[in-house]
Structure 1
Amino acid sequence: MPNSTSPSSTKQLMGRAVLVSLSLLAVSSLSFAGQATQTTPPDDEPEKAWAEVDLQLPAAPKPENLVNFYKSDSQSFAIDKLSLSVAGDGTIRYTLVATSNAGAKNISYEAIRCETYEHKLFAFGRSDGSWSRSRRNQWDKIFNTGANKQHHILFTEYFCEGTTVAGKAPFLLSRLQGKGSPFIGK
């Protein structure tokens, strides 16, 4: 049987289709407008650029405040426990005392940045207890070889957990003093 649709029923169907289409368009427009006004979640905010905090040199180290943490074939290394700090920029700052097997001492004020596996030399200690600032103003990658292995040891064994600081200065000091240290007694 042929489909006989009256012109009035066709107009009604077309009218309903137009109403449904307009309703869907209105709902999607409201949804889009709501999305456009939402704030960006905190996780999507751009990270602030890292900035190094100002340098404050500590007092010269005293022998009674040194904590030994590593001995190589030619040198032993110690940290002045009074100089150890975690700075506001997330770096760990400390006075390092390197003593050769012949007894010569080199004193330096340094930092380690866990986030980037880098270290920086800020100043050299003088025999009169004063400091001479380093001419270099850059961070250097840490290596697990050669004469600078002490930085790798500090990074992996005492100061950092992956790319984050392992804790506050008292906790880092307790690690240096033997709680969990693989180098005490060597």
Structure 2
Amino acid sequence: MRCKQWWATGALVLAAAGCFAQPQRRPPEPAEWVEESAPAAPVFSKEQLIPIDMPHHVSVKVGIDPNTLAVGGDGVVRYVVVMTNATGTVNAAYEGIRCATDEVKTYARYSASGEWKPVAEPKWQSITDNLPSKHAFTLARQGACENRLSSSKDEVIRALKQKSKPAPGLTHPTM
């Protein structure tokens, strides 16, 4: 009987030692994120804009041209945002939203001369710091990002079109 106990105990010790001798398995480290090169700012149309549902206190009309919307393999949602003030002056920017980190980057601005001017050193910044306009934050929440993941181009367009048609009698919340 003692022999059986000793053998069982010895086998248990050897098995435990074998577990400790094996290298520990860890989940693989996530690959370092690398941004794709942003293409040149695309041509946009003021006639096809999908409005972004901004709060009532924002007097500028904001929209994106759906033909400029692209979701890169790097997860960045790139688009041209067009802002029109009460006098009809149009400003536009070519931007990207990185949904995973809630950041926005402006790649180029549309000049009064009708040409794109690339931003010298575009940098990622928090979409909550996107001052004076909160359009990137609003765009992310209204369809570009879902649970910190970028949506597909069709999903973004569908969500924005749905948001731009509020139900009768509903008011827009303010930020």
Shorter-chain TM-score category? 0.7 to 0.9
The reply to whether residue 66 of structure 1 matches residue 54 of structure 2 is no
The alignment yields a C-alpha RMSD, in angstroms, of 3.1
The reply to whether residue 86 of structure 1 matches residue 71 of structure 2 is yes
Change beyond 3 A, Cα 1:31–1:136: closer
The correspondence of residues 160-179 of structure 1 with structure 2, limited to 5 A, is: 160-165=145-150, 167-177=151-161, 179=162
Taking the aligned partners of 1:180 and 1:98, their CA distance within structure 2 comes to 18
Change beyond 3 A, Cα 1:158–1:23: closer
Contact 2:109 2:117 in 1 (8 A): yes
Contact 2:51 2:164 in 1 (8 A): no
Q: Which runs of 5+ in 2 are unaligned?
A: none
The correspondence of residues 1-186 of structure 1 with structure 2, limited to 5 A, is: 19=7, 21-33=9-21, 36=22, 40=25, 44-71=27-54, 73-127=58-112, 129-143=114-128, 147-165=132-150, 167-177=151-161, 179-181=162-164
TM norm structure 2: 0.78
Instruction: Give the greater-gyration-radius structure (CA).
Output: 1
Q: Please state how far the C-alpha of 1:120 moved relative to its aligned partner.
A: 0.6
TM norm structure 1: 0.74
Contact 1:108 1:125 in 2 (8 A): yes
Change beyond 3 A, Cα 1:25–1:79: same
Of structures 1 and 2, the one with the larger relative CO (CA 8 A, separation 6+) is 2
Aligned residues: 167
Identity %: 25
